[in-house]
Amino acid sequence: MLFYCREGYEADLGAELEHVSAAQKLYGYSQFVRHSAMVQFHFYEALSIEQQFVSFALSDCIFARQRLCVIGQVELADASDRITSILDYLKTNTELSQQCLGDIFVEHADNETGKEVAKFCKKFTVPMRQALRREMMLTSKPHSGLPFIHLVFSDSSQCTVAFSYPKNRHSQALGITRLKFPIDAPSRSTLKLEEAIQLFMSPEQQSMCLQKGMTAVDLGACPGGWTYQLVSRGIHVEAIDNGAMAESLMATGLVNYQATDGFKYKPINGHVDWLVCDMIEKPERVAQLMTDWLCSRKATSTIFNLKLPMKQRFQTVAALISTIIDTLNDAQIKHQLSAKHLYHDRDEITVMILAGAHLS
């Protein structure tokens, strides 16, 4: 199997994959090149495509952006006709020839080396898609309910052929959620919260859990990147920070700003629907604070960032999340936790915990 991640996080993803596989009793080992932005996972025992499909839920892997089942590699010796070489490989592979494919992605590593082949991949996608459709291997229009084929190029002379499957993949190229920065947002950090909302919640959940008139506290709010996402949904926000909030947000009438310590603050009315937090603090302190708010019923649900250490990042995150879950279970708080190293994150992960009425 092949997984994409942020460049420099290969070891963290590799450790996570070995941990997840052991928990599922599907033993294997990770293999990667530093700064390749990719990790291969090899099973000790051969698994069918179907068996690979049910293993490693992408949503359970914090550091993985995309999850692919690898079929093999194609050498493209004839630079003048790469398409024929790929088609011949697909036709002669029984597993591939029996697949009905819903779309194709021609991809590269999300690193400096990958940028060198990105232009080639972009140009190659359309003629390759057309060729697959002529051979009746690909549906006439993208079909999200079918497997996708991924051609992953390390350079223009070799590609890895892989599949992704519905309900266990990222739907966009390279596993990256592409977002447009709102011109009226006060900081680019707003994209972190927008990506988390889109990734962690279905459209139905968003409609139910982020309704106009709800209330929220934003700890470490200034200048207001996360507050912007809440206000744009009509949510009233208590913005807590010692810095200054964007005047445009204050003018909405939906923001109550207080310059105070986020670790000591309590909501004005004793409870809010949402607690969000992007403070630059030790992850242990933030995890404890978020858990305390949920256990004391000061907030129903929360989205927050955990800043990552330089080393042992997966181990640190896994221990913190385990502690959070155990604490919430001990408090008999039914919840749903999601965590991911988002595209718009840097040296941090984003965690969402839905609880209470938000689980209905």
- Predicted structure pTM score: 0.93
Known catalytic residue at 307: yes
Asked if CATH classification 3.30.2300.20 holds for the domain at 2-174, the reply, yes or no, is yes
pLDDT tens readout for residues 38-52: 999 998 887 766 676
CATH fold group of domain 190-359? Rossmann fold (3.40.50)
Sign of torsion, CA 178 232 215 279? positive
Q: How far apart are CA 232 and CA 252, in angstroms?
A: 10
Counting as low any pLDDT under 70, the low residues of the chain are 48-50, 52-54, 94-98
DSSP lists the bridge partners of residue 306 as 349
Given 25, 119, 307, 334, the catalytic residue: 307
* pLDDT at res. 49: 66
Q: How far apart are CA 185 and CA 208, in angstroms?
A: 24
Encoded amino acid at 108, one letter: H
Q: How far apart are CA 147 and CA 153, in angstroms?
A: 19
Residue ranges per domain, the chain? 2-174, 190-359
* pLDDT at res. 175: 95
List all residues 6 or more positions away from 168 whose beta carbon is below 8 Å from its beta carbon: 53, 56, 57, 58, 67
pLDDT tens readout for residues 142-187: 999 999 999 999 888 889 999 999 989 999 999 999 999 999 999 9
* pLDDT at res. 278: 96
* pLDDT at res. 338: 97
Sign of torsion, CA 340 344 347 348? negative
